[in-house]
Amino acid sequence: MRATMRIALSALTSLCLQPPAEAKQQQPTKMMKIGEEIVSIEAGNAFIKVQGLLNNKQFEQASALLTQFLESYPNSSAALYKYGFVLLQQGKDSEALAQAKRCTELKPNFFGGWALLGEASMNLKLEDQAKEAYQKALAIQSTGENADIIREHLNEMTRQKEVAIGAAEENEKVAVQNRVIMKLNSALALCDRANALLKEKQFEQGFQVCRDALKAAPDSAQIKENVVVYLNNYAADCVQKQNLKQAEALMKEALALQSNGDITPQSQKTTLRNYSALLKYLGRNDEAKQIDEQMKTVK
């Protein structure tokens, strides 16, 4: 974008150079008009020389002459514009921005000043400021090659912003997926820990680890399945130890968990079958029949 904009700016560097009518009558050989500024003939000649240096891309020499010129005529919008243009070619965007701002302050109706401000801002990633400057330039001059180039820049800025937004959204999706994966891996590690405790007959400790796994990944079907299987094994151990109240509480928790879905039919049937057997053992046959009927609906 920088190279394209330079074409537009360089087309604006040949500002009006002519001796003023009044000065021509009074001091025809000593004064010159550059844009709207009356300067000495020496300064005017130096300013004219700058254009030749720019045409030959001799930016260091042009910069030196413009610096001297601005020491004598610091409010020359024409010189500020040219100097800002030179600074852009040298990659000195922050310095160019300062010259562009001063130029637009002195001559707010100058298309080139706003175009210069727009490019310097764009190079410095000041997108809102660049957009505003470009729009002000177009408000001054809406037709012509330079105006078309600025419109292209505005369109490109819009496209880049859309791409950046799309990339940010995609990155966020990936980040969310990664967080989900990390939580799932953490929960699976907890399930492995719970199963290890199960083998060691440390049922209550393993049960608490299962709860932690559900908290880490509450929507994971894989975690729910692991926990339901654990609850069935823990309940079976309670039955063997005649801790029937605890066994029923575990079975009810398994049923509540699988009622939310995501549990395989095999695990569902196992839970229902175990609970029915427990109810029958407790003499609660009517309740057991209801569970048996429910088991028939599992496919």
Q: What is the DSSP string of 72-88?
A: H-TT-HHHHHHHHHHHH
Q: What is the pLDDT of residue 36?
A: 77
Q: What is the pLDDT of residue 16?
A: 43
Classified as helix, coil or strand, 100 is: helix
Q: Which has more pLDDT, 22 or 70?
A: 70
H or E element, residue 251: helix 244-258
The answer to whether the CB of 61 falls within 8 A of the CB of 89 is: no
How many of the other CB atoms lie within 10 Å of CB of 236? 16
Q: What is the pLDDT of residue 138?
A: 95
For residue 190, pLDDT beyond 60: yes
Q: For residues 201 and 205, what is the distance between their CA atoms, to the nearest angstrom? A: 9
**Which CATH code fits 2-106?**
1.25.40
Domain with CATH 1.25.40.10 in the chain: 177-296
177-296 folds as 1.25.40
Q: What DSSP character marks residue 264?
A: -
Q: What is the pLDDT of residue 2?
A: 53
Q: What is the pLDDT of residue 12?
A: 52
Q: What is the pLDDT of residue 24?
A: 45
Is the whole model's pTM more than 0.85, yes or no?
Answer: no
Q: What is the pLDDT of residues 202-220, one digit of tens each?
A: 999 999 999 999 999 998 9
The answer to whether the CB of 197 falls within 8 A of the CB of 177 is: no
Q: For residues 25 and 23, what is the distance between their CA atoms, to the nearest angstrom? A: 5
For residue 249, pLDDT beyond 90: yes
Q: What is the pLDDT of residue 27?
A: 46
Report the pLDDT averaged over residues 184-210: 93
Q: For residues 292 and 73, what is the distance between their CA atoms, to the nearest angstrom? A: 99
